[in-house]
Chain A
């Protein structure tokens, strides 16, 4: 099949950037979307031209590296699918596709379709952990955990940190990401002692990074490749409210 790509090209964070139209011809329907871009890039490279920069690594939908907008939809919009798992059979011959990076003040563009998501790392560094030393903790089975809690904690913990939630949100909020970690650790007894200091530290960092606030659109969850539920934001807000009382001396 043949496609027309309108690709966002931007040399760096200070460049204004613009769309460039590139023809992609001879595309097989079995290719993944990123293999289609590899194919296009290999031609550009052989011609001595700058290939399209995009982030990717595992290509199995788990590392969270890849992600950009296809026709305005994060990861292309197929439910529960990262762009590396999206295949060309979803598209038809002659289609025009617009490729853009995540658009958010907290995610400055590095180059073309690649953005800087280290704001997410700083939110985790602010408190997204259990403060336990490497050493000899108690036996793992000394503390049984209700299966339902463990399962819900796991569901929240499956976040891959790709940033699609931020890109999908009209407010560019990072609350699905932050809420997922707050929920994962807050549901487990191991995370309980720091539950209320954690939620405050992480949400403060979230705001400091320039992410917007949640106004319950639900776009984040709809586009989350791991299907993280909006419930994590509700739980984070509830914990934050409780923290206002608990953390008072």
Chain B
């Protein structure tokens, strides 16, 4: 075990990023075109990084598996983006955003990174507005803000319920401009399948063209992964169907450490599962909890009856006295607005007691009748109309007439590849940005902070820090003829051939669903040692059967969606073991990682700062082998660790 160094500047945190930018090396403008940078992914982090690097003069190769750069999953973010602008004059500041984020992350993030994120947040808003991102505005023409995710100040900028879409289109358009100018070469429908490491540095990637099946080699001076999170390890999540761990996991197999994989975020307000065929879960914005009241029936007869496949009385027929508004009861101060992890666990708790009200007893009510009585139907429609419409489209029920049913679902992953303050992994030349890295959210991410981090990394941090690395190593020869390219390409081809040759009896999705269910049950909202130990035995068994009995029709030399999915599920089946081991090893509860053995008398998470105030970074040592643990100690110089309380 080694101890990892964050390379964060020492001294005063307020000036750290400015000092660092001065201290690091800068590439001579005339030399920038001599460097080639590969950026994988075109979400908020990837598109903003590729566009910014192109503007700076680097030669950029940008890849995505979707048919267009505009379709990356950042597009689906609804709520908003935080920034410490203090436009509302309600006492917000960079320091307050920093403080809230460190505390919200349950003291498992790196203070220097979080401070920089809070600082840069204000530039993001300026940048986005200059690009023409149509944020919501007040009648005076100035930008509107809302309070979000339990924050005590209004610092969230938004564009209706489509903030991610508008920010991504802004970054996509900046990217399109660079593509037009020839600074960025964009390769769509191209999936990265390996990282190539030469002389200890990341020097290229192997891709597969998803239309022709052609496997190709790409050489560069640095590789940037902006490939998103791994919530689809649960099969059912709010992520897009294509979201996967493949790029990050293959990098991990080439030596990059995977940090804190057990930190996953479960979003409390999603539409519950309605049947075994379900392919994904749909998130309903957290803003619904501002006016909606969460409850479960008190009487068992009113809950889900799996024999009958329905609930007892209709929720509208259940009198007030027979409803349990469990969030208001357990958390009188914050009520329905407690943080995501707390709300999710409370809903699970109610359902575990047998008081669920949806398919298989998984779901609770989110009721707007009180809000409609207080505000009127029109005002409620003004605030939540588009969400109510979406809900009705999916479930066939109108939230104006009957309570919504909601249940928590995997939504975001705080863990990711380990990076230092420069966003470089432990493999020199391999940078990781956005959700794919582990760095800023600790054990729990606050609402409206994902968009902020993606754009902070892509627009403002990486374009500076990558220059430091490139200037240090200088312009080097590059070639796709290196032995490492040949080896990596052969491995990629062998894996594809193997998948196609099994010709088994089970579909790819059936394995993914099986893995997902195991992960959800034993490594989901709540975990315990026994369950995790069982899971660690179960995953290799599923993996073994996969490689013996999966059915992948078709060939490799054509568009083959089953083959694409098979490769991703194969990687999830390896990665899941690392994730479960991380959860098993971390004998404490913190943020999204809730170990049932470690809770206070009131059922809240019990951290163990003495033994676990560190980043767990796992080094791959072979499939089925126990990975090596490396630690980065976390120091809290500004925000002193305390137990979160939302009572």
Does A70 count as interface, using CB distance less than 8 angstroms?
A: no
Tell whether, in the assembled complex, residue B123 and residue A136 are in contact, meaning their CB atoms are under 8 Å apart. yes
Does B68 count as interface, using CB distance less than 8 angstroms?
A: yes
A92-147 interface (Cβ within 8 A of B): 110-111, 114, 116-118, 120-121, 124-141, 143-147
Q: Which residues of B contact A141 (CB under 8 A)?
A: 85, 87, 142-143
Tell whether, in the assembled complex, residue A60 and residue B130 are in contact, meaning their CB atoms are under 8 Å apart. no
Contact of B176 among A48, A124, A135, A154 (CB under 8 A): A124
Of A51-59, A165-173, A212-220, A241-249, the stretch lying at the interface with chain B is A51-59
Q: Which residue of B has the minimal Cβ distance to A130?
A: B132
Does B51 count as interface, using CB distance less than 8 angstroms?
A: yes
Does A203 count as interface, using CB distance less than 8 angstroms?
A: no
Does A185 count as interface, using CB distance less than 8 angstroms?
A: yes
Does A8 count as interface, using CB distance less than 8 angstroms?
A: no
Interface residues on B, range: 35 or more
How many angstroms from the CA of A145 to the CA of B138 in the assembled complex? 9
A81-B180 CB under 8 A given contacts A38-B279, A57-B71, A161-B70: no
Q: DSSP majority for the A interface?
A: loop
A190-B75 CB under 8 A given contacts A31-B275, A134-B51: no
Tell whether, in the assembled complex, residue A62 and residue B274 are in contact, meaning their CB atoms are under 8 Å apart. no
B284-334 interface (Cβ within 8 A of A): none
Does A65 count as interface, using CB distance less than 8 angstroms?
A: yes
How many angstroms from the CA of A185 to the CA of B169 in the assembled complex? 12
Contact of B507 among A45, A50, A185 (CB under 8 A): A45
Of B160-168, B407-415, B489-497, B588-596, the stretch lying at the interface with chain A is B160-168
A53-B561 CB under 8 A given contacts A131-B177, A191-B132: yes
Tell whether, in the assembled complex, residue A132 and residue B139 are in contact, meaning their CB atoms are under 8 Å apart. no
How many angstroms from the CA of A160 to the CA of B70 in the assembled complex? 9
Does B253 count as interface, using CB distance less than 8 angstroms?
A: no
Q: Which residues of B contact A46 (CB under 8 A)?
A: 505-507, 551
Tell whether, in the assembled complex, residue A63 and residue B240 are in contact, meaning their CB atoms are under 8 Å apart. yes
Q: Which residues of B contact A235 (CB under 8 A)?
A: none
How many angstroms from the CA of A118 to the CA of B70 in the assembled complex? 11
How many angstroms from the CA of A50 to the CA of B551 in the assembled complex? 11
Tell whether, in the assembled complex, residue B71 and residue A45 are in contact, meaning their CB atoms are under 8 Å apart. no
Does B69 count as interface, using CB distance less than 8 angstroms?
A: yes
CB distance from B10 to the nearest CB of A (A): 27
Tell whether, in the assembled complex, residue A58 and residue B240 are in contact, meaning their CB atoms are under 8 Å apart. yes
Does A64 count as interface, using CB distance less than 8 angstroms?
A: yes
Tell whether, in the assembled complex, residue A38 and residue B509 are in contact, meaning their CB atoms are under 8 Å apart. yes
Q: Which residues of B contact A39 (CB under 8 A)?
A: 277
Does A222 count as interface, using CB distance less than 8 angstroms?
A: no
Tell whether, in the assembled complex, residue A154 and residue B134 are in contact, meaning their CB atoms are under 8 Å apart. yes
A121-B69 CB under 8 A given contacts A35-B279, A141-B142: yes
Q: Give the A-B pair count, Cβ closer than 8 A.
A: 212
Does A237 count as interface, using CB distance less than 8 angstroms?
A: no
A117-B137 CB under 8 A given contacts A45-B507, A51-B562, A137-B130: no
A63-B134 CB under 8 A given contacts A48-B551, A137-B127: no
Contact of B76 among A30, A60, A89, A157 (CB under 8 A): A60
Q: Which residue of B has the minimal Cβ distance to A37?
A: B279
How many angstroms from the CA of A62 to the CA of B242 in the assembled complex? 14
A150-B137 CB under 8 A given contacts A130-B130, A134-B127: yes
A121-B68 CB under 8 A given contacts A62-B165, A134-B174, A147-B139: yes
B483-503 interface (Cβ within 8 A of A): 503
A80-96 interface (Cβ within 8 A of B): 80-81, 85, 87, 89
Does A158 count as interface, using CB distance less than 8 angstroms?
A: yes
B108-137 interface (Cβ within 8 A of A): 123, 125-132, 134-137
Tell whether, in the assembled complex, residue B282 and residue A50 are in contact, meaning their CB atoms are under 8 Å apart. no
Tell whether, in the assembled complex, residue B179 and residue A125 are in contact, meaning their CB atoms are under 8 Å apart. yes
Tell whether, in the assembled complex, residue B559 and residue A53 are in contact, meaning their CB atoms are under 8 Å apart. yes
Contact of B75 among A48, A58, A128, A185 (CB under 8 A): A58
Does B241 count as interface, using CB distance less than 8 angstroms?
A: yes
A133-B55 CB under 8 A given contacts A31-B275, A51-B562: yes
How many angstroms from the CA of A177 to the CA of B553 in the assembled complex? 37
How many angstroms from the CA of A141 to the CA of B129 in the assembled complex? 9
Tell whether, in the assembled complex, residue A132 and residue B130 are in contact, meaning their CB atoms are under 8 Å apart. yes
Tell whether, in the assembled complex, residue B279 and residue A34 are in contact, meaning their CB atoms are under 8 Å apart. yes
Does B66 count as interface, using CB distance less than 8 angstroms?
A: yes
Contact of A144 among B141, B508, B554 (CB under 8 A): B141
B168-200 interface (Cβ within 8 A of A): 169, 172-174, 176-177, 179-180, 188
Mask: chain B, 47-83; 1 = CB below 8 Å from A; 0 = not? 0100110010000000000111111010110000000
A35-B561 CB under 8 A given contacts A50-B553, A121-B69, A185-B132: no
Q: Which residues of A contact B509 (CB under 8 A)?
A: 38, 42
A188-B132 CB under 8 A given contacts A58-B76, A58-B240, A118-B188: yes
Does B615 count as interface, using CB distance less than 8 angstroms?
A: no
The 8 closest A-B pairs by CB, nearest first: A144-B141, A129-B173, A137-B130, A154-B134, A140-B129, A134-B52, A57-B240, A58-B240
Chain B residues engaging chain A, CB cutoff 8 angstroms: 48, 51-52, 55, 66-71, 73, 75-76, 85, 87, 123, 125-132, 134-143, 159-160, 162, 165-166, 169, 172-174, 176-177, 179-180, 188, 211, 240-242, 274-275, 277-280, 282-283, 389-390, 393-394, 396, 459-460, 463, 503, 505-510, 551, 553-554, 558-559, 561-562
18 residue pairs bridging A and B, Cβ less than 8 Å apart = A12-B558, A30-B274, A32-B279, A32-B394, A38-B279, A57-B240, A58-B71, A62-B162, A64-B70, A129-B173, A134-B51, A134-B127, A136-B126, A150-B136, A150-B141, A154-B136, A161-B68, A184-B134
Besides A111-B558, A153-B134, 6 more A-B contacts (Cβ < 8 Å) are: A57-B66, A134-B55, A137-B126, A139-B126, A150-B137, A154-B160
